Amino acid sequence: MTGWLTDQVAIVTGASAGIGRAVVDRYIAEGARGVVAVDRDAAGLEALSAAHGDRLRVVVGDVREWATHEAAVTAARTAYGRLDAAVGNAGVFDFHRPLAKYTPESLVSAMDELFAINVRGYLLLALAAREALAESRGSLVYTASVASQEAGGGGVLYVSSKHAVLGVIRRLAMEFAPDIRVNGVGPGGTLTQLRGTESLGQAQRSLGADREASAARIAPTNPLRLAQEPEDHAGLYVLLASRRDSRAMTGQVLYSDGGVGVRPIAAF
Ligand code: NAD
């Protein structure tokens, strides 16, 4: 049986861990010819490389830098001869920090860092991958978030950055049509080690450090009572990269959040 992505070539950013890693594993399981995995965590990429051999190339770099994306597109073309999908996924969190907890200085530095990763990194990927994706009539798939439409999905910087991702998806879907489709996946609370910013001294703090406590915190917030795993979302990235199965979709976000948007707002 052939996979959903037989012979296709993808780039995935933030590929060392969490949702990005689950997407890489799944793309390869679905028959991808090769994946270029991008991350600043070299050790994580090495482990991924050991698991996938020739079907994986790695680029160690920071998604805030143009050179990282340029190297990823070059690696896809050189190693595998084409590019069909580029997945923008690397991101950082703000641990629900409210505006009142910032000083003017800490707001500026944290916003510069968080938006540079969560938003600028996505635009740089699109700019670097545009030509190769237009040639293959491929697609961009971005990790949005439940915080792309819910105010309670993070602090003000994270929520506004993920709302901005929605704008990136919708605007680029318009700009890049008819050659490239642009869509997103919006996960809800997921058990990963999502980290914070250096500017706020939270680079080593991680969302899921205590798995059980995180699961207990996340599950009651959605109607399906799920604390999700990265693998719960991976199939949606496959679907959105598949020309056969999502040919007519662009400018959309598939929310994978246990139904946060349909929770009851009153007892009845
Ligand atoms: P994660 O920390 O497991 O994975 C993120 C990866 O991105 C890490 O490997 C990290 O090294 C990499 N990364 C971070 N900053 C980078 C940079 N500047 N340059 C290169 N690589 C960088 O966390 P995750 O939860 O899998 O996060 C993936 C995406 O999912 C993020 O965009 C996040 O906002 C989004 N998301 C997460 C959740 C959740 O609850 N975990 C929910 C919704 C959306």
pLDDT of 264 reads 86
Structure confidence at residue 255 as a pLDDT band (50, 70, 90) = very high
Ligand 1 is surrounded, with C-beta below 6 A, by 14, 16-20, 39-41, 44, 62-64, 89-92, 117, 143, 145-146, 187, 189-190, 192-195, 207, 230
What domain range includes position 166? 9-255
**265: in domain:** no
Sheet with 181-187, side-by-side order of all strands: 56-60, 34-39, 9-13, 85-88, 139-143, 181-187, 253-256
- For residue 103, give the CATH number of its domain: 3.40.50.720
Question: For atom 23 of ligand 1, which residue has the closest CA?
Answer: 194
- 26: alpha, beta or left, given left = phi > 0 and alpha = psi -120 to 50? alpha
pLDDT of 267 reads 67
**133: in domain:** yes
Average pLDDT over the chain, rounded to an integer: 96
Atom in ligand 1 nearest the alpha carbon of residue 147: 43
Q: What is the mean pLDDT of residues 61-78?
A: 98
**32: in domain:** yes
Pocket perturbation via mutation, ligand 1, pick of 13, 16, 19, 205 by most ligand atoms within 8 A of CB: 19
5-55 residue pLDDT tens: 999 999 999 999 999 999 999 999 999 999 999 999 999 999 999 999 999
231-253 residue pLDDT tens: 999 999 999 999 999 999 999 99
Residue 268 has pLDDT above 70, yes or no: no
Q: How many domains does the chain have?
A: 1
Positive or negative torsion for Cα 180, 185, 186, 192: negative
Q: Which of 161-170, 191-200, 205-214, 219-228 has the lowest mean pLDDT?
A: 205-214
Q: What is the mean pLDDT of residues 69-75?
A: 98
Q: What is the DSSP letter of 36?
A: E
**175: in domain:** yes
CA distance 143 to 163: 12
Contact 173, 144 (CB under 8 A): no
Question: For atom 10 of ligand 1, which residue has the closest CA?
Answer: 14
Q: Which are the catalytic amino acids?
A: 158
pTM score above 0.85? yes
pLDDT of 217 reads 94
